[in-house]
Each structure stands twice: as structure tokens, then as C-alpha cells.
Chains A and B, each alone.
Chain A
Amino acid sequence: KQEVTQIPAALSVPEGENLVLNCSFTDSAIYNLQWFRQDPGKGLTSLLLIQSSQREQTSGRLNASLDKSSGRSTLYIAASQPGDSATYLCAVETTSGTYKYIFGTGTRLKVLA
């Protein structure tokens, strides 16, 4: 059964710092991996989608990488800002079983001004 883990669960950094969020998964049989942002009490906003054949995707200050063989993805945020404060979740789309998307429990990020 696919399991997705995100470490750390919470992170506080000063404004301007570059940071890396981690996502690991146990089964490399995935179609894609998606990173989301969630503000308190709100829905999820899609940030980046990496297909299984890709190694990375970039959008503005965000860069996500995927290493399927080791079951790992990272989300790199450059020059962090207080507005980046949110919970970041990763999800994998599985190729087997009855599940479609398996989510990690997220990393709660706080960027201090």
C-alpha cells in the first residue's frame, strides 16, 4: 500500500531564506506527483505537477524535483516571503489498487518577517 510522508511537519524560517520541503513515497509505481498549498480553513491550490517521466518542474520561485527510483520529491522555494506561509502537501497518483491519489500530511511553513 502506498504511503506518503512529509518531513518536517512544521518549519519556521526568516524571510528571504531559500528552503526545501521533502516528500517521500514507498511505491515508485506512480503516474505523477503534485504539490499543493493550503491556507488555513481553505481548499488546496495546485502548485506544480510532475509526471512520472519528468525530473523537475518550475513555476516562478518554486522548483519541484522527482526521483522515482528513490521515492522522493523536493519542493524548493527561493527567497521565501511571509505570504508563502501555509501548509504544503504532496500527493502521488498511484497506478495500482483502488486508490487514486495518496496525500502526505503536509509541512506547515511559517516565514517570519
Chain B
Amino acid sequence: DVKVTQSSRYLVKRTGEKVFLECVQDMDHENMFWYRQDPGLGLRLIYFSYDVKMKEKGDIPEGYSVSREKKERFSLILESASTNQTSMYLCASSQTTPKYEQYFGPGTRLTVT
């Protein structure tokens, strides 16, 4: 079974802090994704990566950066956390598209105070 894990289920940070969210997948998937999910807005793509050290911006990259130094690990970085980044963050992975399913991690509920 594909397993996607995220470093924290719940996280509380202060405004202005630098925040790291980590995602690890164990199925040698090429593609990895970071989404945020907000009520009424659904899932929105922040960044995705289709290979090590490769990344592309999604719908809402502002205020975020990413790092993929190893194939299995994809990190989301909030350079200076703000209250409007309070959200559920979901990581996903898939084999090279088309045709293959996305598999999601359990999510990280981030609260910025």
C-alpha cells in the first residue's frame, strides 16, 4: 500500500515564524503536491514537483516555497507565517501522469496566531 506521511497533524505557530511542513512517500513516486484546503474554497494547489529539485507553482504560491532534495521527501516552507495561512495542508503523491492516482497524507492543521 502506498503511504504518504506528514510530519505533524496539528501545528500552532506565531505570526512571522518560519514554518516547515514535511511530507514523505514510500512508493518511489515521481510527482508530489502540496495543497491547502479551506471551507468553501476546496483544495487549492500551492506547488508541485515532478522530479528531484524540480518544482512548479500552482494556484496560490505566494508566501510559500518548497524543497525537494530527495525523491521521497517534499517540504513546504512558510517563510513568514501569517494568520491568513491558517489552514489544512495536504500533501499528495502520484506516479508520472497521466493515468495514475493521487495518494494523500493525513493532513496538517496549521494555526497561525
Interface residues on B, range: 20 to 34
Query: Do B90 and A43 touch (CB < 8 A)?
Result: yes
Query: Do A43 and B107 touch (CB < 8 A)?
Result: yes
Q: How many residues of A contact B (CB 8 A)?
A: 25
Segment 68-113 of B: residues with Cβ below 8 Å from A: 88, 90, 92, 97-107, 109
- Pick from B41, B57, B92, B100: contact of A105, CB below 8 A: B41
Query: Do A32 and B90 touch (CB < 8 A)?
Result: no
B residues near A, CB below 8 A? Answer: 4, 31, 33, 40-43, 45, 48, 56-59, 88, 90, 92, 97-107, 109
Can you list 7 A-B contacts (CB < 8 A)?
Answer: A34-B101, A34-B102, A41-B107, A51-B99, A91-B102, A100-B31, A101-B102
A residues near B, CB below 8 A? Answer: 31-32, 34, 36, 41-46, 49, 51-52, 89, 91, 93, 95, 98-101, 103-106
